[in-house]
Structure 1
Amino acid sequence: MKKRKTLRHVTSKWAKTKVLLKSRTMRTYIPETRRMSRQSLQEMLQLYGMVYIKPNSGTYGNGVIKVESGSSGYSFHAGTKVRSFGEYDEMYESLSKFVKSRSYLVQKGIHLLKYKERRFDLRVMVQKNTSDRWECTGIIGRVAAEGKAVTNVHNGGKLVSVERLLSGYASSARQSSLVRRLRRIGVTAATKIHARYPGIKEIGLDVALDGGLHPWILEANTRPDPFIFRKLKDRRIFSRIYRYAKAYGRL
């Protein structure tokens, strides 16, 4: 029997996505995702009108590009610039200059909720606690910088509490229910990925919410930044995250 590697950090987004897709429970939270090619990108645009392409291996939102199609043609949003084209092939050739020879994925685009006219998503932190059990230790919002399609802090995103972000979309009771759901999703995702990669001790889920407040897992990170949680007013959250990370040797 082939022994599984005890990796602490799994770089392939596709590998982690495939693990989650095997779970009937988790599948309802995963936007359709494929390996990107000229054909798969065109098919996904025909299906959804808006998609995101992202490097299979990469961090901080680098290389993530929003691609759209409509009655007037095609466009893609890379960094702060939007480029428009009349034909698909023309757009794809220009896009290829950004992608180059790297392996990319194409994912159904989720229309993110907005805070002060800027898109936001959530980071759900899950860690092995000192009893060696998975625990959701924190959730924080990330608001995209002006003119950018990605929310990552390293790409200019701003950190905001979940309560503030959701105040315009849900009552206090519904917010509490949603947070409990996100915590369950986080622990389940960590359990599934850990079953395939038993060396991991932490995951950070990037979760989008659509207009119906349905959670969509955009990505699962196995080396999430714990220090973003220092921005929360409740100091106990970062204190716990730090304590667990130190216990399993991350810090």
Structure 2
Amino acid sequence: MKKRINRSPKKVLPLSRARYVSSKIGKTKAVESVESLRKYVPSTMRMTKTSLEHMLNKYKMVYIKPNIGMCGNGVIRIELAGDDADLAYSYQSGVTRKRFKSFDDMFTSLHKLTRKRHYLVQKGIHLLTHKGNRFDLRVMVQQTPARTWETTGVIGRVAHPTKIVTNFHNGGTLKSVDTLLMRYLAPTERNKYVKQLHVMGVMVAKAINARYRGVKEVGVDIAVDKELNPWILEVNTSPDPYIFRRLTDKRIYAKIRRYAKAYGRL
């Protein structure tokens, strides 16, 4: 007589223990690995003296940012003026702006700020403005309790008048997408544009998850240029859900909170 074997049902892995990915260059490469997303990623590379000079000569305005960092801390904007300018090179860090006659002089000054961390250099995007201040968009994408990906919210972040970053925790102001885009797009076009951002957000989440298994949520920072082209600036794998409480439509934050609870974030 055969001994009966008790077979327990297969365990379903919990949605908790969401993975955090700190490397910006790693996440950028993950997004760039998807051909349909590649055109939306501004040229980005590890910063060296050579790569910075090359990018600045090519694009005239670039941003450098720590490979590992949050809330816009350490981000610096660098600009190259026309050839006839006496002080052709400049950079802004925080609220401080400095000008230089030569690239070497500027890099020496920059190196004092960046030498203890690994930095990236990224093509600068001239952002749309709201009442004279630059803004970008944060697209929140989450894994649902059914383990599919869904864009659950989009919110705008307006930079403080004296700063170059839009982050709320660095002095930025939160606004609805409709408020920010109403002067640029009619209501029907606006709705269509936001739907495209929803689709893009899910594609980005899948690209990140394909390389970094265990990611449960992403916050995609989207810049919109003067031709209304969207640009994927950065992907955060531990985005702040609480900023969405500022939206008038409370259903958005309620869903974000419900999904975040399902995978153990809240």
Query: Shorter-chain TM-score category?
Result: over 0.9
Which of the numbers 15, 19, 25 marks the counterpart of 2:26?
A: 15
Moved over 3 A (4+): none
Tell me the residue number matched to 1:232.
Answer: 247
Q: Unaligned stretches of 5+ in structure 1?
A: 1-5
TM norm structure 1: 0.97
CA distance in 2, matches of 1:148, 1:67: 13
- Please give the per-residue CA displacement for 1:143-199, whole angstroms capped at 9, x wherever unaligned: 001110000011100000000000111111111111011000000000111011111
Which of the numbers 152, 161, 164 marks the counterpart of 1:149?
A: 164
CA distance in 2, matches of 1:208, 1:181: 14
Tell me the residue number matched to 1:249.
Answer: 264
CA distance in 2, matches of 1:93, 1:208: 30
CA distance in 1, matches of 2:207, 2:127: 26
Tell me the residue number matched to 2:63.
Answer: 52
Tell me the residue number matched to 2:78.
Answer: 67
TM norm structure 2: 0.91
Q: Confirm or deny: 8 A CA contact 2:80 2:89 kept in the other structure.
A: yes
CA distance in 1, matches of 2:104, 2:97: 17
Tell me the residue number matched to 1:110.
Answer: 125
Q: Confirm or deny: 8 A CA contact 2:18 2:216 kept in the other structure.
A: no
Q: For residues 92-103 of structure 1, what are the structure 2 equivalents within 5 Å?
A: 92-103=107-118
Q: Confirm or deny: 8 A CA contact 1:50 1:109 kept in the other structure.
A: yes
Whether 1:188 and 2:203 are equivalent positions in the alignment is yes
Q: Confirm or deny: 8 A CA contact 1:126 1:190 kept in the other structure.
A: yes
- Please give the per-residue CA displacement for 1:42-79, whole angstroms capped at 9, x wherever unaligned: 00001100000000000000000000011221000111
CA distance in 2, matches of 1:64, 1:206: 14
Please identify the structure whose Cα radius of gyration is greater: 2
User: SS at the partner of 1:45?
Assistant: helix
User: SS at the partner of 1:136?
Assistant: strand
Aligned length: 246
Q: Confirm or deny: 8 A CA contact 1:141 1:160 kept in the other structure.
A: yes
Letter of the 1:20 partner, please give it: V
Question: How far did 1:7 drift?
Answer: 6.8
- Please give the per-residue CA displacement for 1:1-38, whole angstroms capped at 9, x wherever unaligned: xxxxx970000000000111111111011000010000
CA distance in 2, matches of 1:7, 1:101: 29
Q: Unaligned stretches of 5+ in structure 2?
A: 1-16
Tell me the residue number matched to 1:204.
Answer: 219
Letter of the 2:192 partner, please give it: S
Identity of aligned pairs, percent?
Answer: 52
